[in-house]
Each structure stands twice: as structure tokens, then as C-alpha cells.
Structure 1
Amino acid sequence: MDKKSQLSIIALPGIYKQAMYYFGGFIHRMNSLGYKTVVAFEYPHKSRYIDEKPDPQLGKIGIEDNVNALCRFMDKLRAGQPEAKFILIGHSMGSMVAQMTAAKLGDKVHGMILLCPVPSREIGLFSWDGLVSFAELLKYGDFWNKPVKRSYWATKRVLYNENMSEGEKWIAYCKSVWESGRIILQVTLARPRIDESLIKIPTLVIGGGKDKLIKPHVAESVAKKYGAEISIIPEAAHDILFDETEDAVVETVHDWIQKRVY
């Protein structure tokens, strides 16, 4: 059996991201390299765009709910392909889901790729741009119990590559989805602790040199925590799969899989 056909790569989006929209280009490029099973995982109650009415249950969803949903999804994939090797690739909050899932499942996960990763609690995360983005949530009151969305002003301030045109930024923003306020709390002020001794799998960390939320030194700290390989893409912003930096991510991921997972 071709080694690539044994891999099941599951892509986990970050906050406010619709899974297939964010990872669609990445999946297409990976498919063209011969990786047949590359799927974008949609979190529970998180499918509605910001111009729609949010699912009222979304505000009660925590990161652990996303982890449990992912584990059930992996069980279904494993039932159809018992020899599958799972690689989790998570962006931002999705990287936290990947870390927690890898710690929970142990050797049932075979590799982990963390893009602009949200770190566990012991690693410092503060940034002024992140604080400005977070402050918007105060208008919701008890935001940790509600669906929330981020303004266009805050989104373009913290996420996008400076080379993107205003029109490209607006189109990307309009594809944003509602997010759980509880999860926002869990990736900022109430981040979980993760026992790195539970994660003994090949790990790759990719950061953006121009990321305003997860600065390069934070990505480096996450890599050190797991003894991971690290790559910092100089021109990449936090939304590392937008603009031309997506090609660099795909190339880095492909090379790493060839070396470390096979």
C-alpha cells in the first residue's frame, strides 16, 4: 500500500474560521501531492457565517467539547481504515485542539502540525493587538456564555498579510463564522495546561514572522515544549494559509511528513 494512502490528515481551524474555506487551498495542494485523505473538521454548532443568526448552543461549547467531537470523528475514520495513521494539523485555536487530542489519545495520533499555535498556560502569550481584539468582547457582557463575532476593524488589524488588498481582506472577513465566547476565554485568559510527557509523537511547529497574535518567540516556546521541529515563515501573518505564504506551509509540511512520519 502506498504510504501516503495510509495517512489521514485532519485539519483543525482556529477561532472564527469556517473549516473548509480556510483549509480548502491547503487540501487541494496536498491532494495534488498524493495525499488522498485530507479533511477539514467542522466543530459542533460552528457552521453559521457572521451575517447569519448564530446557533444559540455555540456559546456553551468549550475546547474540550471540540476535542471530544474530534475523537468521535477519528473513531469513524478508523473504523473504515484500521491501518490509518492520523496527523492533526491545527491553526491557532485548532492547534490547542490538536495538542489536547494528542495528549488524550496517545499513540493513536501519529503526528502533529501546529500552525501559529495557541500555547498552553505556562507559556506567555500577551500582545497589544490581541488585547485590542479581546476588548471588543466586553460589549457582550458575559461573553463566555454567548456566541460572539469579531469586527472587521479588529480582524484586519491582527490577522491578515499586509500584501492582501482591502478587497481580499473584506472577502476573507465575510467568510468568518460565529465563535463560542467560552472558547475565546479558553485561548486567552483561561488557557488549559497540557502535560507534554503525554505527547511523544513527531511534531512540527510553523509560525509567522509577521504574526501579531502568536509572535515567533511564542511559536518557538511551543516547539521547545514538545521537542518539535520549527519553521518561521518570514512574511507570514497570523492567517498563515492566506496569500502566497500558503505555498511555503504546504512545502514545509510535505517535506516534514516525508522525513518524520514515514
Structure 2
Amino acid sequence: MPDRIPDHEIAGDGELTLFLLHGAYGSRQYYRHEIATLVARGYRVVAWDAPGYGLSPLPSPYSIETAADACAALVRATGAARNVLIGHSMGGIIAPLAAVKLGRERVQGLVISATVGSFSAKSKEDQRVFLEERVAPLARGETLSAAAEPLLRTMLAPGSSGPLVDLVLEVAMQTRSETFVAAINAIVDYEGQPTLEHLRQLGMPVLAIAGEYDNVGRPEEMRKLAQNVGGEFVCVPGAAHYAWAEQPEVFNTALFDFLDLRVRRLS
């Protein structure tokens, strides 16, 4: 159990609370527009800074298990009668484990965006490239801002632009190097398959969302993830890793359909 709950913000007052969990690049700040959209739709939103991000202290050692414990503590402290976890990238690895820890009594739905739930599902070569592209430049002395921008741009679909994309890039490049390295190593080290098996047993409504051009949470891998946990799958055309910023209307239509048809109806 973490010493204190992570730094976070709460917005809105709807009867269903949506928890936004960001990726390894970034913080809750890049969800600024998404939070406003969700609140306008009538949802209560809790957006966190994961351990080591924002004002949340960096635990040592860092692990997905530690982050999931922190997420579970946040839900217990700030959640309502009905809660949904929405995890993007690293957040999409943390969210399933937190959902399993909390159970159906506290979590009524799960949205996994742009990840595969466990890097053990990826080939050794994919794992090597993932680590090399992100951590090696920092080991050579580059700043995270300088190393991250060219890589982040490859994680966007051709032609992706606009204020939401600009905000993602701005916030992502402010990530602290020591936090980022700890998070990336935790992602690669995490064995998440048992968690996905438990998730299927819970029978919790799950939505997996992939961007058409994403090379991290690849559509074919996310489709398999959804099948493995008995969930639904949506591919967002014209988007890559940051579908909620690149194609927000398409992403949010899929999200709202899931919440309206699967979560609210079953609650």
C-alpha cells in the first residue's frame, strides 16, 4: 500500500467516475481537453499523475505492481459508486492490474488504449527496440526533451496535427528523465498475462482502442487482447499512438458508446 495517494485532479459531478491514467511520456496535463469533453458529457473525472510524475514522488524500486497499488488506493479514496478506469499506453498496463485488485465491486468498466497489457506478449526484438529507442539516448547524455521529440513524432499518424497533438508533445517532453527510465524498465519487466486471465474471469466490460498506425499498441495485438479478456475492440482510422488527441471525435464516440451500452446498462 502506498504511503499516500498520487497527485490528482477531480472535475465534474456525474454519477459515473472515469479515472484517466496517462502514459510513460507525459502527465495528467495532456488530458486537459479530454477532461473538459468528459465533464461536458456528464461524467465525473479523476486524472492522476502516476507515481514519479507531476508532484507524485518516485518510488524505488519502481514497478507496475507499485503503480497499480497506487491506482487502487486512489480509486478507494476518490471513487464513487461506479467507476471506470481508462488507461493509455503505460496507463493501459497499470489499469488492468488495478481493476483486478479492486474487483467488480469498485470497478465497473475498463478501457485500454494503445498498449498490449503486457510486453511479454511482444517479441524479444520488439522489446529490445522499444527499450533502445527510449532509454539509450538518455544513457548517451541527451536530454529527454531532445531525445523524445523525434520519437514522439514517429508515434503520430501521417498528417496528425492541431492543438491536442501539440499539447501531447509539449507535456510529454517535460517528463523527468529519471521517472521515464524507471517507468520504461517497469513496463518491459512486467509479466501481465496472469492479470489478463484474472480480468477475463471477472467478466468486467472491457474496451480496447487502437490507432490504425500505432506501432506500440498495434491493432492486431490489441484485437487479440480484447478477445482474450472477452472485451470489445475498436480501431481508430487516421490515428496512431495518441488516438484520443489525433482523432478525438472518433475516439470519444467509441468511448461513449461503450460507456452507454456496456457500463451504464449493466450497472
Aligning the two structures, in what range does the TM-score lie when normalised by the shorter sequence? 0.7 to 0.9
- CA contact 1:207–1:216 (8 Å) conserved in 2: yes
Percent of residue pairs bearing the same amino acid type: 21
Q: What are the equivalent positions in structure 2 for 1:239-254 lying under 5 Å apart? A: 239-243=242-246, 245-254=247-256
Q: Does 2:21 correspond to 1:12?
A: yes
Partners of 1:41 and 1:253 lie apart in 2 by: 19
Q: Which amino acid aligns with 1:196?
A: L
Partners of 2:124 and 2:255 lie apart in 1 by: 28
1:156 Cα deviation from its structure 2 partner: 1.2
CA separation of 1:212/1:121 partners in 2, compared to 1, >3 Å: closer, same or farther?
closer
Task: Give the secondary structure class of the aligned counterpart of 1:5.
Answer: coil
2:136 equivalent among 133, 138, 142: 138
Task: Give the secondary structure class of the aligned counterpart of 1:242.
Answer: helix
- CA contact 1:86–1:111 (8 Å) conserved in 2: yes
1:58 Cα deviation from its structure 2 partner: 6.0
Partners of 2:60 and 2:153 lie apart in 1 by: 24
Partners of 1:132 and 1:101 lie apart in 2 by: 24
CA separation of 1:122/1:32 partners in 2, compared to 1, >3 Å: closer, same or farther?
same
Q: Which amino acid aligns with 2:16?
A: L
CA separation of 1:106/1:156 partners in 2, compared to 1, >3 Å: closer, same or farther?
same
Q: Does 2:222 correspond to 1:213?
A: no
1:160 Cα deviation from its structure 2 partner: 1.8
Q: Which runs of 4+ in 1 moved over 4 A?
A: 125-130, 147-150, 165-171
CA separation of 1:58/1:239 partners in 2, compared to 1, >3 Å: closer, same or farther?
farther
Aligned to 1:39: 46
1:113 Cα deviation from its structure 2 partner: 0.6
Partners of 2:164 and 2:254 lie apart in 1 by: 25
CA separation of 1:161/1:242 partners in 2, compared to 1, >3 Å: closer, same or farther?
farther
TM-score by length of 2: 0.78
1:233 equivalent among 229, 232, 236: 236
Aligned to 1:144: none
1:70 Cα deviation from its structure 2 partner: 1.2
Task: Give the secondary structure class of the aligned counterpart of 1:187.
Answer: helix
CA separation of 1:58/1:240 partners in 2, compared to 1, >3 Å: closer, same or farther?
farther
1:190 Cα deviation from its structure 2 partner: 4.3
Q: Which amino acid aligns with 1:213?
A: V
Partners of 1:28 and 1:167 lie apart in 2 by: 14
Partners of 2:238 and 2:127 lie apart in 1 by: 18
Aligned to 2:187: 187
Higher RCO structure (Cα 8 Å, ≥6 apart): 1
Aligned to 1:51: none
- CA contact 2:119–2:127 (8 Å) conserved in 1: no
Aligned to 1:116: 114
Partners of 2:34 and 2:40 lie apart in 1 by: 10
Task: Give the secondary structure class of the aligned counterpart of 1:31.
Answer: helix
Q: Does 2:159 correspond to 1:156?
A: no
Partners of 1:31 and 1:76 lie apart in 2 by: 20
- CA contact 1:185–1:191 (8 Å) conserved in 2: no
TM-score by length of 1: 0.79
1:59 Cα deviation from its structure 2 partner: 6.8
Partners of 2:165 and 2:14 lie apart in 1 by: 35
- CA contact 2:157–2:240 (8 Å) conserved in 1: yes
Q: Which amino acid aligns with 2:50?
A: Y
2:258 equivalent among 245, 256, 259: 256
Task: Give the secondary structure class of the aligned counterpart of 2:121.
Answer: coil
Partners of 1:130 and 1:170 lie apart in 2 by: 28
Q: Which amino acid aligns with 1:18?
A: S
Partners of 1:169 and 1:188 lie apart in 2 by: 26
Aligned length: 242
1:128 Cα deviation from its structure 2 partner: 6.2
1:136 Cα deviation from its structure 2 partner: 4.5
| Residue segments in structure 1 that go unaligned for 5+ positions in a row | 49-54, 142-146
